[in-house]
Amino acid sequence: MNFFITGTDTGVGKTHLTRLMIDSLRALGCNAVGFKPVSCGDRADGRILAEVSGNLPLDDVNPLHFASPVAPYVAALLENKSIDPATLVESYRNFSEGRGTVLVEGAGGWEVPITENYLISDLAKDLGLPVILVAANRLGALNHILLTLAAIKAKGLTCAGIILNQLEDEMDTPMITNKGILTSLTNTPVLDHIIHNQDFLSPEIMDVLMA
């Protein structure tokens, strides 16, 4: 099964978690690869996914790239280029053909604009994939996660699980309690609480990926 990896914001660890998921699946003999439809700024995320996917060509893994470190819609305006959403969907379909598990990593958060009238959430809907939501585990995470879960549901998509990513070494009260509170507030499983720089995944994540 393929998945769409999104975040509550930019910089919450989507690429790190996507890399871990691909690496873990491939270690079990699965033909897992990453796909980054659009990126902005440096191309490090695409390179990481291309490398962990078996050193695939970067342009296959990340077919659309802008140099400006802003939302794709803004980057296209700044660079006097246009984006055709249908081309992004077609790129995914061509890339995923004949492959095993494909993890599609979005850009920034769920509602980041790709064009004036087309968002990351619209791309996820067009791909029709279950969503895995990555959130930085910190004060404010509950609000961001609940809003994003509601937006995912509004698109008619299923969130397969939430991953809390611990970006700091020291933990305060929100960081300690967020997982339990989310479990009580939502029907969406919290698949893991990733500790800072952790390089392994929980059995719950692997069960979802391999279902």
Which of 76-90, 137-151, 166-180 shows the lowest per-residue confidence on average (mean pLDDT)? Answer: 166-180
Q: For the chain, what is the total number of helices (H) and then of strands (E)?
A: 9, 10
State the DSSP H helix or E strand holding residue 66, giving kind and residue range, or none if neither: strand 64-66
pLDDT at 113 over 90: yes
Please calculate the CA angle 146-147-153 and round it to the nearest 5 degrees.
Answer: 90
Confidence band of 120 (pLDDT split at 50, 70, 90)? very high
Is 36 noted as a catalytic residue in this protein?
A: yes
Which of 84-98, 134-148, 157-171 shows the lowest per-residue confidence on average (mean pLDDT)? Answer: 157-171
User: Per-residue pLDDT tens for 28-56?
Assistant: 999 999 999 999 999 999 999 999 999 99
Q: Which of 14, 36, 125, 153 is catalytic?
A: 36
Domain boundaries along the sequence of the chain: 3-209
Question: What pTM was estimated for this model as a whole?
Answer: 0.96
Q: What percentage of the chain exceeds 90 in pLDDT? A: 91
pLDDT at 197 over 80: no
Amino acid at 27: A
pLDDT at 211 over 90: no
Q: What percentage of the chain exceeds 70 in pLDDT? A: 100
pLDDT at 169 over 90: no
| Cβ atoms 14, 48 nearer than 8 A | no
**Helix 141-154 / helix 173-185 crossing angle, nearest 10 deg:** 30
* CATH architecture observed for domain 3-209: 3-Layer(aba) Sandwich (3.40)
Calculate the average pLDDT of the chain.
95
CB contact set of 142 (below 8 Å; sequence gap of 6+): 174, 178, 181, 182, 185
| Cβ atoms 141, 8 nearer than 8 A | yes
